[in-house]
Structure 1
């Protein structure tokens, strides 16, 4: 098995899910008595968001590249981010990295193409919804990416930064996020709702939406398991 290095802490809740699902997934595929070798470099999601808010993408790339270098020094053969927002500088970090980095966006795009989606609705952090880095690979495959209006974007971003990053899921917030997803699906005719922040699945657990749900974290985790076991 190949050793994976994770950039964690972006945020902590999703890092725990990555660790649990990767170890469980490898065990299920290879049988009892087999767990993967992993290392985690835990960074700070709020530092990542601050870099984005200041528009300091060179600083963000430096911050993440140092984390990847630490993973490589710990023996990781390849790496991955446990958050989507760091992908805003993915190409630059991958260029500098001493080891390959498995992109969450590439894995998600392959998933959408395989299901013949024509339009997806993206929920995520402010930088993810407002930026072009998530839209770009989907657009290259003819898939339209739509986002909420500004008021709904602010609601989603606030929920992520003040609740979900701390593992808090308040019923009122969960209902508000569900309503946003339903409006997008119905009014913008989306084939799927993209949970484009790795903490959003916490708020959509048990929620029944009228269209498919793309949990990019699960999609990414399965791609990482494939890489660990050489599939």
Structure 2
């Protein structure tokens, strides 16, 4: 029995959800809103998670209960727990590249893009902390363009982000990019190479629950759920 505590419009949570689905692991999802502490299973979540930030996976096994926090730990745990549907290549160079890019999204992309755009448009709105700052959004969008250009450069030379195989790098990218796409922050006409990659990712069964996410107070653009956008 597994329970995943997550927030729908949260890249780290989405990484965990996609990975668990790719590995065909059954899990019960428990939504958590870090900015509305009186809702959902927050008290239970707070008791088991010292960080107080989703995602957290609780895996009940015969020997007891395992609690794993953070997207990277959850993704690696899920991938290492079964040899079926591997999310890292056998080639050590491609494995290293997948981990490098996953780390890129977890840190560099999160700090330079998410911390500006998602914070201004999502976190401030939910927390009732005022309107988004246009200057901060502009900075985030300019940096986003540099990142997307780099990803296109990689995809012009590879089948998937890290190499020949779909990997944890693609999952990390999809988690972050899908949140921005939900907010209408990506003009896909400007990024045809990235669009082709994202169409392949969106068509995977592991992405379907994310495309069905609905967040009160937010409306995704029409193309968000369209596989052939």
TM-score by length of 1: 0.35
TM-score by length of 2: 0.35
